Amino acid sequence: MSTEYHCHILPGIDDGAENAETSRRMAELMQQQGVTRLTATPHFYAHRERSVARFLEKRAEAYEKIADDLHFDEVLLGAEVAIEQGLSELKDIEQLAIGGTDLILLELPYREYQGWMFEEIYNISAEFGLTVILAHVHRYLMHYTAAQIELMLKTKAIFQINNEAFRMMSHGERHFAKRLMKEQYPIVFGSDAHNNDDRAPNWDLLQKRVSAEQIAASDAVLDEHRLR
């Protein structure tokens, strides 16, 4: 079993799957690679959206187009919410949590760390009782200083690692991902797949490079965070 925590499989809603056919092919490949539970997390950029409510409508419409073709044990709808200044005060922000859980996937900006980013993370978790998952934490190595990386790791969050971080070519990222596992940070895996080509699911790669126990620990996070 594998739980996908981060992917752009819904058709025509962001820079992920461009149509339902691509979504279907992505789903097929993920299933072949052992994914049994899937969280769909289209990008949410507060400055581009009219409202959270409108985004949720668009997400529902996109899901409707492929719902019958997804043969996973469970499909949950979420979002990859870009951290922007003032995000925690946006109306209905808490509704972007992963369906039926208290988990919300947040993406840091790809630039130098600034204090307000972590204030937004703190406010979102504290005000709404949500647990933050920080998306693809290994992708900030080139933007942050070593001290800023340590600050990020002090955040009370779950750290999401993309499967692709384990490619042989991504030395620094792989090393960082291994460090997080060794030091027993709370970790979940996701593909961040946008298609089946240059941003493919890579669940086969993860299974080759990471222990079954570590993948099971990632799976367990979802169940631990279900709303009762």
Q: Nearest distance from residue 5's CB to Fe ion, in Å?
A: 10
Q: Minimum CB separation from Fe ion for residue 137, in Å?
A: 12
Least CB distance from residue 20 to Fe ion, whole Å? 20
**Closer CB to Fe ion, residue 120 or residue 192?**
192
Chain positions contacting Fe ion, by CB under 5 A: 80, 192
Between CA 7 and CA 4 the distance in angstroms is: 7
203, 191 contact by CB (below 8 A):
yes
> Is 164 or 192 the residue whose CB approaches Fe ion more closely?
192
Q: What b/e string do you get for 3-25 counting C-beta neighbours within 10 Å, with b at 16 or more? A: bbbbbbbbbbbbebbeebebbbe
For Fe ion, the closer CB: 5 or 176: 5
Q: How far is the CB of 193 from Fe ion (least distance, A)?
A: 9
Rounded Cα–Cα distance for residues 95 and 200 (Å): 28
> Residue 78 or 89: which CB sits closer to Fe ion?
78
Between 4 and 192, whose beta carbon lies closer to Fe ion? 192
Shortest Å distance, C-beta 59 to Fe ion:
14
Dihedral of alpha carbons 107, 212, 72, 198, sign: positive
Cβ at position 8, least distance to Fe ion in Å: 6
| Minimum CB distance to Fe ion smaller for 9 or for 70 | 9
Name the closest residue to Fe ion (Cβ).
192
